[in-house]
Chains A and B, each alone.
Chain A
């Protein structure tokens, strides 16, 4: 019965109810759109870091990431690789030889991280191959090909097929040098990353190092990234003496970044909800004051305070529940549309690229957020209804009736 009265009461003042419903719809839509945008930025950053650089999980000698010395390699890395590939949820894995060194042309020299990769396996864990803008990805059989970034090519003033020289330490801590021919020029969109990295074949690098099977790093790409921690756990049991780390552990700024976005999302959500709360309180107070005499009559003939209270609460919740599907749907459609289209941020691209963001953001939002938002709206409605409902039960029936 209370539901019936509450429902009909909503439609007494249609305009007013539609204003409330409309503002909830707009609020929900705005929150979804903004969340999807920041979530799009976040995942583009995380994804590009995973795809260009880290992959999902990496295995190293426990000291390697701190010291980066040639000797801190993975013992028996080929055997470990085989076991890793058999672990559930592992899609692909690739070994790398890593060294800090110097690349020089006739025009200049720069410090770099030299990555020795196995071309075929590497292609399954990062998208280096698709980042090639000129030339090709270790296509020719010729010796000592090297991939450098576009930015590096500019700095060293070199072009395709020209030679550069790599200097780095070999196994005996002597400096070794090798001439490499530029086979491809890549660009990931992340300038900091590009400026610091060159790729060669692991076999070429190991030959110069003087140890054929050397590997410092195994990069692992997963089928189901959501099971990251579980898979990392499984990998730890395979290689108990090595450091198995997820991309979040290797790159703590990803975590920081994600939590920062979550905080700003929560702040934004709170602001919108607060605005809605005050709007709803205002409207429901008006509805209560307008029905002062009627509420007095209801109390006179025996409707008790808790029923009056809940009637007002239900009315408010109903407004929220009517608005919710429209707000969620509007938000969903907007997100799908923006996701398909992408938002071009190239106007701000210069700055963004420095930090590893891609220029086009594809907003997206996980379904959990829709649920959270639905819950938040219902809670908002309940909170907003309390004061008007309390006002309603505070009225004295005699006074209300006197006004008749």
Chain B
């Protein structure tokens, strides 16, 4: 079943002044359980595509379906609600709330969803152990390394059981060891729990780990291979 489906998605920034055609008609379909990399040089439109799939931005034209729901025309507030319940995000940096501990960060979205305390506690513990930082529960983000912070971000993204996780260059700020480590954890969660990951990158070591690689350039898909 397709969890993400885009049809002729285009995005033009500044249509009234100096138009930038960031996406020029993207048609992709991503099914449950994929481990997919969106690849392309800087400026090719990766971030724009992920933002639109993630309901952070509206397309100029085209149609996006997430979990069977058309999200291309939702209002700001509807999109916030949709993101909260359906999509997990991992950004390149500034993922975490600095004034909250690792545990509180992971718990955060579940709190927004008003999940009961017992459920939250159990899930947070489970996830923090799964990403290998069960011993760092009460540390603030500033007390964690970059790699550990990204693992907390993955756990946080997973907590509300979203349809899939979107990660825009999640390893861009990490050294090669932390990069490998984070990818191990992501691949592991993907295999064992069938969690769908879509991440963008231009790092060859990361591309090598993906099972499907969608390459875009100038806002168009130029290749799509599954291995």
Contacts and interface: CB of A to CB of B under 8 A. Distances in A.
Q: Do A and B come from one complex?
A: yes
A321 interface: no
Contacts of A297: 91, 94-95
A134 B156 CA distance: 88
Given A301-B156, A305-B77, A404 B91 contact: yes
Contacts of A293: 94
B137 interface: no
B99 A9 contact: yes
Contacts of B57: 398
Interface in A293-315: 293-294, 297-305, 307
A304 B82 CA distance: 11
Nearest to B114: A1
Contacts of A12: 98-99
Contacts of B77: 304-305
Interface in A43-86: none
Contact of B80 (A1, A305, A404): A305
B98 A302 contact: no
Interface stretch (B28-36, B104-112, B176-184, B189-197): B104-112
Contacts of B80: 299, 302-305
Q: Chain A's interface: helix, strand, loop or mixed, by majority?
A: helix
Contacts of B160: 302
A404 B112 contact: no
Given A299-B80, A302-B84, A404 B56 contact: no
B56 A398 contact: yes
Interface string A374-403: 000000000000000000000001100110
Contacts of B100: 5, 8
Nearest to A299: B80
Nearest to A10: B99
A138 B203 CA distance: 108
Nearest to B58: A398
Contacts of A301: 83-84, 89, 108-109, 156-157
Nearest to A9: B99
A304 B56 CA distance: 13
A294 B98 contact: yes
Interface in B55-79: 56-57, 76-77
B2 interface: no
Contact of A401 (B56, B84, B109): B56
Given A294-B97, A297-B95, A302-B84, 17 more contacts: A5-B97, A8-B100, A294-B94, A294-B98, A297-B91, A297-B94, A298-B97, A302-B80, A302-B81, A304-B77, A304-B81, A305-B77, A305-B80, A401-B56, A401-B91, A402-B47, A404-B93
**Which 6 A/B pairs are nearest by Cβ-Cβ distance?**
A302-B84, A8-B99, A398-B57, A304-B80, A293-B94, A398-B56
6 contacts: A5-B99, A294-B94, A300-B89, A302-B85, A401-B91, A404-B93
